[in-house]
Amino acid sequence: MTDRAFSVVRAGALTTVQDLGRPGHAHLGVPRAGALDAPAHRLANRLAGNPGSAATLETTLTGCALRVRTATTVAVTGAPCPVTVDGHPAPWGAPVRVPAGAVLDAGPATHGLRSYLAFAGGIATEPVLGSRAADLLSGLGPDPLTEGAVLPLGDPHGPPATADAVPHPGPVTELLLPFLPGPRDDWFTEAGLRTLVTGRFRVSPAGNRIGLHTEGPPLERARAGELPSEGMPLGALQVPPNGLPVLFLHDHPTTGGYPVVGVVPERFLAPAAQATPGTPVRFLRMR
């Protein structure tokens, strides 16, 4: 094993390797996967001197701690959290030089859900179908981090970025999800469609990388039953028999038989990665 590596001291609730995912394989049943908060993932990479495609760590709520084997530049973005190096405070949202043998700790999120840790050179686990992303639906890519695991790092690409102001995301106090209706909005009654845009929904604790589940008033269906399986996009608002919309995130199944009432464009999905359970959700019809 090369010296360019880190070992896991504290894995956190769920920490996975992510990049920009493996699009183009949906016809084989392979989800896209990749960082749920793509802008935060790209920013972490830029601060660490990497291209946006380099693999980072995505944490969930409780952060993680790692011991680096060689001196490495690291940047933490996404959900803001206390960052320390061997117990000494270090900046969030900026390149941090971590000496060989030191422990980098990204603490619990002060708000939001998922922090991103980029390492100069990126995480160099073996790619599967062109991506290093962990896909929790189908089990492709590296397993979630466990204590004691050792992950290799690549060679640094270039100097870390300097001096740009880094936006500090505020808490998501209300998750606004603009959507385009269809393809199966005709499976719902007028009242059901009105419920979607007027109902008081909240983020359910049942969510994961596959989908953000909601709690609220059920959408009234115009037709019972299921569709023959059909292709499902990222951002689909799929409505299972309980009538409560599920927003499909990056590990979503590529086909499904429950009707999709609308689709949230990809550019609006990053806040969904940071909305904690209980956050109010508002669906905004775009046309």
Partner 1 sequence: MKPLPVGEHGLLIELDSAEEVEALHAELLRRAADGALPPLREIVPAARTVFLDGLADPRGLLAELATWDIPPLTAGDRPTVRIPVRYDGPDLADVAALWGVTPEEVVRLHSATEFHVAFCGFAPGFGYLTGLPEPLHVPRRDTPRTKVPVGSVALAGPYTGVYPRSSPGGWQLIGTTDTVLWDPRREPAALLVPGTRVRFVPQETA
Nearer to partner 1, 168 or 287 (CB): 287
* Residues from 106 through 165 that contact partner 1 (CB under 8 A): 128-129, 138-140
* Torsion of the alpha carbons at 149, 155, 158 and 160, rounded to the nearest 10: 20
Give least dist CB 248 to partner 1, A: 11
Each residue 230-269 as x (binds partner 1 by CB under 8 A) or -, in order, gives xxxx-x-----------------xxx----x--xxx----
Smallest distance from the beta carbon of 228 to partner 1, in angstroms?
Answer: 3
Among residues 140, 150, 73, 143, which one has the least CA distance to residue 104?
Answer: 73
Measured from the CB atom, the residue of 164 and 230 that comes closer to partner 1 is 230
Toward partner 1, which CB reaches closer, 22 or 42? 22
Minimum distance between the CB of residue 179 and partner 1, rounded to whole angstroms? Answer: 8
What tokens appear for 191 in the block? Answer: 């009242």
Per-residue x/- track, 205-224, partner 1 (CB under 8 A)? --------------------
User: What is the C-alpha separation between 276 and 205, in angstroms, rounded?
Assistant: 8
- Single out the residue of 108, 171, 183, 217 in contact with partner 1 (rule: CB under 8 A): 183
Residue 56 bridge partners (DSSP) = 18
We find the least distance from the C-beta atom of residue 208 to partner 1, in angstroms, to be 17
Question: Coil, helix or strand for 43?
Answer: helix
Q: Quick check: 229 binds partner 1 (CB under 8 A)?
A: yes
**Three-state helix/strand/coil letters over 184-212:** CHHHECHHHHHHHHHCCEEECCCCCCCEE
Give the footprint of partner 1 on residues 4-23 (CB under 8 A): 23
Q: Which of 1, 28, 163, 165 binds partner 1 (CB under 8 A)?
A: 28
| DSSP SS3 for 115 | strand
Helix (H) or strand (E) holding 56: strand 56-58
CA distances 198 to 195, 240, 261, Å, are 5, 19, 15
Residues numbered 34 to 63 that lie near partner 1 (CB under 8 A) are none
Q: Is 169 strand, coil or helix?
A: coil
What is the spatial distance between Cα 157 and Cα 192, in angstroms, rounded to a whole number? Answer: 52
Interface pattern 72-111 for partner 1 (x via CB under 8 A): ----------------------------------------
H or E element that contains 148: none
Residues 12 and 104: their CA atoms lie apart, in Å, by: 13
Give the residue with the Cβ less far from partner 1, 139 or 148. 139
Distance of alpha carbon 59 from alpha carbon 14, whole angstroms: 6
Query: Interface residues with partner 1 (CB under 8 A)?
Result: 23-30, 128-129, 138-140, 180, 182-184, 228-233, 235, 253-255, 260, 263-265
